[in-house]
Amino acid sequence: MTDSAPILIVGGGIGGLTAALGIGRKGWPVKVLEETPEFGAIGYGIQLGPNVFHMFERLGISEAVLKKSIVPKAVTMLDSVDGGVIVRIPTGPSFEHRFKYPYVVLHRVDLHQVLLEACKAVPTIQLVPTTKVHGFEDNGDKVRLFTNSNPIEGAAIIAADGLRSVIRQQLLNEGQPRMVGYVAHRTIIPMDQLTADVRREESVLWSGPGFHLVHYPLRNFTLFNMVAVFKTSTYAERGDLADYRGEIDRTYRDSHPAMKALLAMMDVGRRWAISDRDPIRHWSAGRVALLGDAAHPTLQSLAQGACMAIEDAVCLADLIDQAAGDFPTAFRQYSAARYVRTARVQYESRFMWDHLYHVDNIARDVMRASYAGKSDEELYNCLAWLYDGFALPKARA
């Protein structure tokens, strides 16, 4: 370690905290700046592929994450009209045998808590809430962040400030993310209030023309998480409860009765406009690097946005340590190591969005036929590029 000034991480989400943990564990001083008054996560579920457990093993938190997780029996895509199974990928023992680690679902708050507790146990990590970053300065041998309070100096900046990253905006000046014309509503209900006849032990995606609905269990099957996603011309507007309810009723009017029963329980008060960006090759300039959604925001089709942020974080921690204080070199090596994999996630997620999840008419028949008769092994092989994990760059001798 050559520099005693802290590495500044902007954003205490899943990506920022994982980066802090990876870097702090190697003895580097780290300061995490988070705009909200408390370090926390939005209160909904998250799915994690087995690829991310390679990283959790490195960080020593696999067991803590598993304790909070459910391993669903399968990831299943159903037809939104007739309820038929389009594809079912078993995620039980044969999946775990193939990919070494399980596929899990858990509450985001629980994952965030595991990361937060692990960070608090590392003396070199300082967590600074209520600090909104507005911009930065990189003068070659140190950096400065401008915030809602005093400027903060450090050795380097890692921007983990999400989809609307202010650091990315200053670095690349390319405007807002690309809106895809879809919105999401999310809800968690107590499992004992669930009356609909649905698969409670699986992660399910109901696919329909211009819409989908995802659900899975959480917290030892005491909670049930639902996400409704659909195309609407009002994606960029704010409506009231009645507008949102009316749109949902119209959009899903021909869908399966079980879906309608779920949608009746949907909290329509809050909606998110779905966005991503085109992949880019370079995620850094000098002593500033982007991470997670700030670097490669993706549609959620593969449920891999947070998983990619976690892989970024562990990779970056290794390269910073290997470069022993040469941040510009470490940052260049980091995006060179990561961009092809994350770009593939972005492209494949767009493909799935447009050609699997939301198709109609003949395209729908083609999509269904493409899955017909595929063995579990064949399905696993299709996912191997992703779920076999990311090979961290080897330390140079």
Ligand X SMILES: Cc1cc2nc3c(=O)[nH]c(=O)nc-3n(C[C@H](O)[C@H](O)[C@H](O)COP(=O)(O)OP(=O)(O)OC[C@H]3O[C@@H](n4cnc5c(N)ncnc54)[C@H](O)[C@@H]3O)c2cc1C
Does 217 engage in binding with ligand X (CB under 6 A)?
Answer: no
Alpha-carbon distance of 11 to 389, in angstroms, equals 25
Q: Which is nearer to ligand X, 166 or 320 (CB)?
A: 166
Stretch that binds ligand X, among 57-65, 69-77, 161-169, 245-253 (CB under 6 A): 161-169
CB of 185 to ligand X, least distance (A): 9
Q: Which is nearer to ligand X, 75 or 78 (CB)?
A: 75
Does 59 engage in binding with ligand X (CB under 6 A)?
Answer: no
CB of 165 to ligand X, least distance (A): 7
Return the residues of window 230-289 that contact ligand X according to CB under 6 A. Answer: 272
Of 8, 28, 30, 161, the residue at the interface with ligand X (CB under 6 A) is 161
Of 127, 307, 314, 319, the residue at the interface with ligand X (CB under 6 A) is 307
- C-alpha distance across the termini of the chain, in Å: 17
Alpha-carbon distance of 305 to 313, in angstroms, equals 13
* Helix intervals (H) in the chain: 14-24, 51-59, 62-67, 93-99, 108-120, 166-172, 241-251, 257-263, 305-323, 327-352, 361-371, 376-387
Of 116, 119, 205, 303, the residue at the interface with ligand X (CB under 6 A) is 303
Does 305 engage in binding with ligand X (CB under 6 A)?
Answer: yes
Does 114 engage in binding with ligand X (CB under 6 A)?
Answer: no
CB of 178 to ligand X, least distance (A): 14
Alpha-carbon distance of 246 to 252, in angstroms, equals 10
Q: Which is nearer to ligand X, 184 or 363 (CB)?
A: 184
Say how many residues touch ligand X, by CB under 6 A: 33
Stretch that binds ligand X, among 6-14, 117-125, 237-245, 376-384 (CB under 6 A): 6-14
Does 68 engage in binding with ligand X (CB under 6 A)?
Answer: no
The DSSP result for 70-87, as a single string, is B--SEEEEEETTT--EEE
Token readout for 350 is 């767009």
Stretch that binds ligand X, among 7-15, 86-94, 338-346, 358-366 (CB under 6 A): 7-15
Of 10, 21, 114, 194, the residue at the interface with ligand X (CB under 6 A) is 10
Return the residues of window 337-366 that contact ligand X according to CB under 6 A. Answer: none
31: number of CA atoms within 13 Å, CB side? 19
Contact 210, 197 (CB under 8 A): no
Residue (of 143, 172, 149) closest to 9 by Cα position: 143
Of 133, 158, 288, 289, the residue at the interface with ligand X (CB under 6 A) is 133
Does 34 engage in binding with ligand X (CB under 6 A)?
Answer: yes
The DSSP result for 141-184, as a single string, is S-EEEEESSS-EEESEEEE---TT-HHHHHHH---SPEEEEEEE
* Strands across the sheet containing 223-231: 85-90, 74-79, 203-208, 211-218, 223-231, 178-190, 272-276
- DSSP-based three-state secondary structure for 350: helix
- Residue span 185-214 as binding mask against ligand X, x where in contact by CB under 6 A, dash where not: ------------------------------
Q: Which is nearer to ligand X, 125 or 368 (CB)?
A: 125
Measure CA 162 to chain center. 10
Phi and psi of 75, rounded to 5°? -105, 120
Within 10 Å of residue 67's Cβ, how many Cβ atoms?
Answer: 10
Residues within the interface to ligand X (CB under 6 A): 10-16, 33-36, 46-47, 132-133, 160-163, 166, 184, 227, 272, 292-294, 300, 303-307, 309
